[in-house]
Amino acid sequence: MASILSDGSLTDVSSSSSPSSGSYDSSGNSSPNVTLRYQKGEEALCYHGPTVYIAQILDTRIIYTSKVGEVGPQYHVHYKGWNKKWDEWVPESRLLKKTQENIEMYMMPKKHVMVESSEQDSADNIVDNNNNNNKRRFKEDESDLEGGDKKNQKLRSKRIRLSVDVKIEEKVRMIDEWQWITKNQLIIHPMPREKTVDDILKEFLDWYLEKLRERNKITKQQELDVDDDVEDFKEFFNEALPIYLLYRFERQQFVEMTEKYPELPYSSIYGAEHLMRLIVKIPDLVFSVQMKEEKAEEIQTLVREIAEFMQLKCKNYYATQYEPADPAYIRIIWEY
């Protein structure tokens, strides 16, 4: 994490607003003890919650005393592609230099996501998020990258295109849904969904295990592995939803839901509509990362089974009514 004291020169220290408590320098004079690592107009990587986004430095200031937060340099940041209402002052500890090394580091490790928030859906930003569990099977096992026959590992690891079968009627439903939301300015209702992703994946797990038992194709350990796979897929959904699975017109609804239910994961709010969007998008997301063929086959098997289950059992879980957005909602959307 960036240090408050770092090399560099203080070229501009100013502020358009005062901190809530404490004192700050807005004179533009450098301090012999505190310097700025980031300059006005510079782009940096900035933490917003657990996630890292590309942001632009709009202004700078130095806090010398504070009863409510960190002292030292602070930066007024704008998250690229976001409405300016999300602009905020952040301490230097929330910033990282926008270097290729940092971009690669924070795109790929276990606990971080790096995205540039925009209207573009980019499969290049999907990440491995395995929570330090080397037994997780849905994501690439890091131990495969350490030691062993590296030449053979390199040969085995490659970009693989998965295929998922989606029936034509499901594709038509998704096209209609896109039309209703993006063109007719309707939103899915009610929210949270009556059958959430959590509910659907629990039902899927029971269905899939019973299916395997009937074929005598599963051991106790394999049952535990399948359970882990489904939990990993749920985590994958929660990581992907705000980045890849929302239409622009749904973003304000997302803000409202997360503010109303801050303790709930997205899988406890959203339902079949967004889960099917992930299933359809999975091939592109997996293709964006390198992995061994056996790992890709495991993912493809699980996703195909979930797709089959949803098309067999979940037809009644999709929204049957879409609510017209009120004018205030629409005004906010067009400000994004």
Percentage of the residues of the chain whose pLDDT score is greater than 70: 68
In whole angstroms, give the CA distance from residue 283 to residue 299: 10
- What is the structure's pLDDT at 66? 64
Q: Is the pTM of this model over 0.75?
A: no
Range of 1-10, 65-74, 267-276 with top mean pLDDT: 267-276
Q: Average pLDDT, stretch 232-249?
A: 92
Assign domain 125-335 to its CATH architecture.
Orthogonal Bundle (1.10)
Please list the residues that pair with 157 across neighbouring strands.
Answer: 292
Arithmetic mean of pLDDT, 167-174: 86
Residue 147 has pLDDT above 60, yes or no: no
- The overall average pLDDT reported for the chain is 75
Q: Please provide the size of the chain in residues.
A: 336
CA dist 198 and 272 (Å) reads 10
Same fold, 23-115 and 125-335: no
Residue 259: what pLDDT?
94
Better-predicted residue by pLDDT, 89 or 4: 89
- Where do the domains of the chain lie? 23-115, 125-335
- Which residues fall within 8 angstroms of residue 10, CB to CB, at 6 or more apart? 29, 30, 31, 34, 35, 36, 62
pLDDT-derived band at 106 (thresholds 50, 70, 90) equals low
The predicted-structure confidence for 265-290, as pLDDT tens digits, reads as follows 999 999 999 999 999 988 887 776 66
Q: Which residues of 275-307 are buried (b: 16+ CB within 10 A; e: fewer)?
A: bbbbbbbbbbbbbebebbeebbebbbebbbbbb
User: For position 276, what pLDDT does the model report?
Assistant: 96
User: Where is pLDDT greater, at 196 or 168?
Assistant: 196
3-state secondary structure of 214: helix
pLDDT of residue 336: 64
Whether the per-residue pLDDT at 306 is higher than 90: the answer is yes
> Greater confidence, 244 or 109?
244
Q: Of 252, 250, 243, which Cα lies nearest the Cα of 332?
A: 252
The whole-number average pLDDT for the span 206-228 is: 90
Average pLDDT over residues 228-253: 92
**Higher-confidence position of 279 and 129:** 279
CB contact set of 320 (below 8 Å; sequence gap of 6+):
none
Minimum mean pLDDT among 158-162, 226-230, 320-324: which range?
158-162
Query: With 50 as the cut, is the pLDDT of residue 184 above it?
Result: yes
Mean pLDDT of 53-60: 90
Is the pLDDT score of 255 beyond 90? yes
Name the pairing type of β-strands 88-91 and 95-97: unpaired
User: In this model, does residue 213 exceed pLDDT 60?
Assistant: yes
Q: Can you tell me whether residue 257 is helix, strand or coil?
A: helix
23-115: CATH, from 2.30.30.140, 1.25.40.20, 3.30.870.10, 3.90.1300.10: 2.30.30.140
Using CA of residue 22, residue 27, residue 28, residue 31, what is the dihedral sign?
A: negative
The percentage of the chain sitting over the pLDDT mark of 90, rounded to a whole number, equals 36
CA distance 334 to 158: 41
Alpha helices (H) along the chain: 100-107, 150-156, 168-178, 197-214, 220-244, 251-260, 272-287, 293-313, 327-335
Q: Which of 102-106, 131-135, 239-243, 297-301 has the highest mean pLDDT?
A: 239-243
Q: What are phi and psi of 118, to 5 degrees?
A: -160, 180
Q: Do residues 324 and 185 lie in contact, with contact meaning Cβ atoms separated by under 8 Å?
A: yes
Q: What is the C-alpha R_g of the chain?
A: 23
